[in-house]
Amino acid sequence: MLNNKWMTAALLLLSLSVRAEDTAPAVSGGDAATQLDSIQIKAVADTPATPPNVPSTVESFTSRQIRESVNSVSSAGALLYVPGVHVRERFIGDVNGGLAIRMYGVNSSAETIVYADGLLLSNFLNNSCCPGPRWSMVPQSSIDRVDVMYGPFSALYPGNSVGGVVLMSTSMPEKFEAHASLDTFGENFKLYGTDKDFYGVHGVAMAGDKAGDFSFWVNADHLDNHSHPTDFTPATAKAGVPAAAGQFTVVTGAYYDKDIANNTRLNTAAISADHTIKDDVTMKLAYDITPSLRATYTLDVWQNDSNKAVDSYLRDAAGNVIYGSTNVAGPFRYLRIDGKDYSVTAPSVSLTQSLYHMHGLSLKTSTDGTWDWELIASYFNQDKDEVRASSGNFGRTASDAATAGTLTYGDGTGWHNLDLRGEWRPDGNLKSEHQVSLGYHTDRYVTKSTQFNLVSGVNFQSSATNTLNTNSRGVTTTDAIYLQDAWQIAPSLKLVVGGREEKWDATNGSNFANNTNVTYPDKTVYAFSPKASLSIRLSDDWELRNSYGRGVRFPTVNELFKNVGITQVGGAAATPAQIAGFPAPYNVALTNNPNLKPETADSWEFALERQLNNGLWRTSLFGEQKQDALVSQTDLTTIPGFSISSVQNIDKVRTYGLETALQESNILVHGFDLSGSITYVHTEIEKDVANPGLAGTKLPLIPVLRATLLGVYHASDALSYSLGWRYSGREHSGLFNTTTHQYPDPNPGVYGGRSNFSVFDAKVLYKLADRWSASVGVDNITNEKYFTLYPYSQRTYYASAKFDY
């Protein structure tokens, strides 16, 4: 168990480490600077190299590879061709860019971790795509390299690493340098009644210098982009007899298709076309207190104004735009389309204003001697987070003129983290037979969400708040200690073994809905996670690594406490009377679960690596056995005759897969680099007490197959060409339906589905002069229409110019 004694021990560790550092030889550089067992990495090599003492597979992508092959302007684009990895970036500037790694899909934000120089970018307030990691807080142009470590095999990272850990690293300048770039991009998007060009611009200015022991860099990043619509409004057919005279309006312009269940669908409007204006300023300061001790401070301020517009396809006989129907008697009670009557929910417009800031502080020694230590702390807070949404409108009144709606505040939501770590080498150098990592971690996550109804009769864009609609409150904290030893048993044999002890608390949980407030009791959970990895060098060219690790992923504050309304009771829409008849807390229409247990994954990997003349070929067999998996499903056992859908614990889930990846330079011809990967995953629910019929079926959002292929040809020192291919196979949108005995998406390749895709990208990079370079590129060359519920970008063109001093 963790208590104040562990805090005392951690502080004692720091004290001892400081004294050890004072007497250690002042050695700088060396392999330790690229060691993944340190949170902060400093690496500027042009070719990836697996850092030492890592207990699992690592794939890397360098700044040179990013410049030569990636068109995307976000830091998430750096992961585009990493094996088994995908980011749900639907358009440029998407804040909901969920990360998928191997056995975990894009809605598993709490089951993968993203760090930048040790600062946490992942958002563990929820386990979803939305929002994704704070990618924009790291300028892509500042990234030296990205390392992806698969699975929960290192004791240095929390149980959120069950999917993997992404470590982005930057470096401080050694002399004055300045960089500026301008990117433009655009696409022609065609779907249903939308056929329109969407454009954007992105600019970056960065400067840094070093004077004596002090160094700094400042980066300003601006994005102004009009995205394609990501959502569409369907119509609902009227049951029974046709509407009476005077109770309908004849309209045209709707578009028919089939939904994911192969039912005929009528689409009436495009919505959520996001005009986003983002400004991100990052300042990083470093001071070398001694030749081997550096203090670094990072400040990031991020603001975003987002205006999600709508475009109704419907027109009346006079050519007027019709936005929707109403439940009030009159000519817009129904809309008649091709002789049939429909109810059409008016598309909603929303306005978002956000201002976030992050602070990071680190103290780190680099003696490469007997002791090194590091302290790193980060703090993230949503100073302003306001979403003003209209309730839509009906008839000829545009949605942005709506006189009712809601205003949701997320101000004060955020987290802070502290890590204190020591590295002990008994032999006093990097070749020590034992290299021991030990440390202490603590974090705190706070959710604050409050939604008000707006005063009716006033335009929603300026209306004041009226009554409280819902709110959610809650806090989770984790304290952990860990120990890991990398033991070089023999020249060809290395054992990395460790463990992580964690104490997790959920406190101050409450909800308000339907004029009722519900509070939840506090809870505490303890967990221990063992880790072990054995690497065997079979020959100069072959190495085998066997890894095991347990990852314990605790529920997020939103899974525990966020308001979620009951939508179905016994397979039909819930009525107010049914909701009122539910036992507490469900009688206030809440389906969050404050009693969730953590999910526990016992993971393993067998990796065989072959060193090539100019590269590396790896094949991995991997898998996990998970207990109490946290999945949104329907509980058939809560109340006789009723069912409730929410995030619940599924008793047992088994997943396994196979991956092969290749990176090689100067293949076939000098200057041609080739990399590629194929990842196969199979997942199956083995036991589910709450919904027994799901046993033997698959988890959703995990594609059976992913693949990448990237070729880069260096025609000269100044000119390079790249062509890349990304593939994702079949994945289901939801769990198996035990009533219909099929998955919900027999027709996945449409809006609302999770389609497979095969996408080609190209880029040409040319160095114009000593300090100038330019590039042109295109993503999705074949203009494939593919979906992750919402449509991804169609064929998109890029042009960029960059100045480096």
Q: CA 643, CA 691: separation in Å to the nearest integer?
A: 10
Q: What does the block give as tokens for 358? A: 């992050």
Q: CA 634, CA 636: separation in Å to the nearest integer?
A: 6
State mean pLDDT over 70-96.
93
pLDDT of residue 393: 80
Comparing 384 with 769, which gets the higher pLDDT?
384
Q: CA 486, CA 369: separation in Å to the nearest integer?
A: 16
Q: Quick one: pLDDT band at residue 636, thresholds 50, 70, 90?
A: low
Decide: 233 and 266 in contact? Cβ < 8 Å. no
State mean pLDDT over 450-477.
92
Comparing 124 with 577, which gets the higher pLDDT?
124
Decide: 177 and 785 in contact? Cβ < 8 Å. no
pLDDT of residue 680: 98
State mean pLDDT over 244-250.
96
Q: CA 685, CA 703: separation in Å to the nearest integer?
A: 15
State mean pLDDT over 589-618.
88
Residues ≥6 apart with Cβ < 8 Å to 501:
2, 480, 481, 482, 526, 527, 528, 529
DSSP state for residue 694 in the 8-state scheme: G
Q: CA 105, CA 96: separation in Å to the nearest integer?
A: 13
Q: Quick one: pLDDT band at residue 518, thresholds 50, 70, 90?
A: confident
State mean pLDDT over 246-255.
96
Q: CA 604, CA 627: separation in Å to the nearest integer?
A: 15
Decide: 498 and 437 in contact? Cβ < 8 Å. yes
Residue range 13-67, pLDDT digits in tens: 333 333 333 333 333 333 333 333 333 333 333 334 444 578 999 999 999 999 9
Q: CA 649, CA 515: separation in Å to the nearest integer?
A: 29
State mean pLDDT over 297-316.
95
Say if strands 113-116 and 705-714 run parallel, antiparallel, or are unpaired: unpaired
SS3 label, residue 542: strand
User: Which of 268, 301, 273, 289 minimizes the C-alpha distance to 198?
Assistant: 273
Mean pLDDT of the chain: 88
State mean pLDDT over 590-606.
86
State mean pLDDT over 466-472.
91
pLDDT of residue 346: 85
305-to-92, 345, 388, 390 alpha-carbon distances in Å: 14, 26, 12, 16
H/E segment holding residue 92: none
Q: What does the block give as tokens for 741? A: 């005995």
DSSP state for residue 197 in the 8-state scheme: E
Q: Where are the alpha helices (DSSP H) in 432-550?
A: none
* CA-based max dimension of the chain: 93
796-to-36, 91, 200, 692 alpha-carbon distances in Å: 35, 10, 11, 45
pLDDT of residue 13: 35
451-454, long-range: CB within 8 Å, 24+ apart, which pairs?
451/406, 451/407, 451/408, 451/409, 452/406, 452/407, 452/408, 452/409, 453/404, 453/405, 453/406, 454/388, 454/404, 454/405, 454/406, 454/407
Q: Where are the alpha helices (DSSP H) in 445-524?
A: none
pLDDT of residue 563: 61
94-to-71, 98, 195, 210, 273 alpha-carbon distances in Å: 15, 10, 21, 35, 11
Angle at 539 between CA 536 and CA 540, to 5 degrees: 115
Residues ≥6 apart with Cβ < 8 Å to 328:
none
Residue range 738-762, pLDDT digits in tens: 888 999 999 999 999 999 999 999 9
- Residue bearing tokens 């802070």: 416
Percent of the chain at pLDDT exceeding 70: 88
pLDDT of residue 646: 76
Residues ≥6 apart with Cβ < 8 Å to 370:
20, 24, 424, 425, 426, 428
Whether the per-residue pLDDT at 601 is higher than 50: the answer is yes
Say if strands 113-116 and 164-169 run parallel, antiparallel, or are unpaired: parallel
Q: What does the block give as tokens for 780? A: 């999705």
pLDDT of residue 702: 95
How would you class 343 by CB atoms within 10 Å of its CB: exposed for 0-12, middle for 13-18, buried for 19 or more? middle
pLDDT of residue 729: 96
Residue range 207-233, pLDDT digits in tens: 999 999 999 999 999 999 999 999 999
Q: CA 651, CA 576: separation in Å to the nearest integer?
A: 32
pTM of this prediction? Answer: 0.88
Q: Quick one: pLDDT band at residue 519, thresholds 50, 70, 90?
A: confident
Residue range 154-201, pLDDT digits in tens: 999 999 999 999 999 988 999 999 999 999 999 999 999 999 999 999
Residues ≥6 apart with Cβ < 8 Å to 478:
158, 441, 442, 443, 502, 503, 504, 505, 554
Q: CA 277, CA 297: separation in Å to the nearest integer?
A: 27
Decide: 392 and 345 in contact? Cβ < 8 Å. yes
pLDDT of residue 256: 96
Give the residues across from 615 on adjacent strands: 612, 664
How would you class 599 by CB atoms within 10 Å of its CB: exposed for 0-12, middle for 13-18, buried for 19 or more? buried
Q: Quick one: pLDDT band at residue 592, thresholds 50, 70, 90?
A: low
Q: Quick one: pLDDT band at residue 586, thresholds 50, 70, 90?
A: very low
H/E segment holding residue 401: none
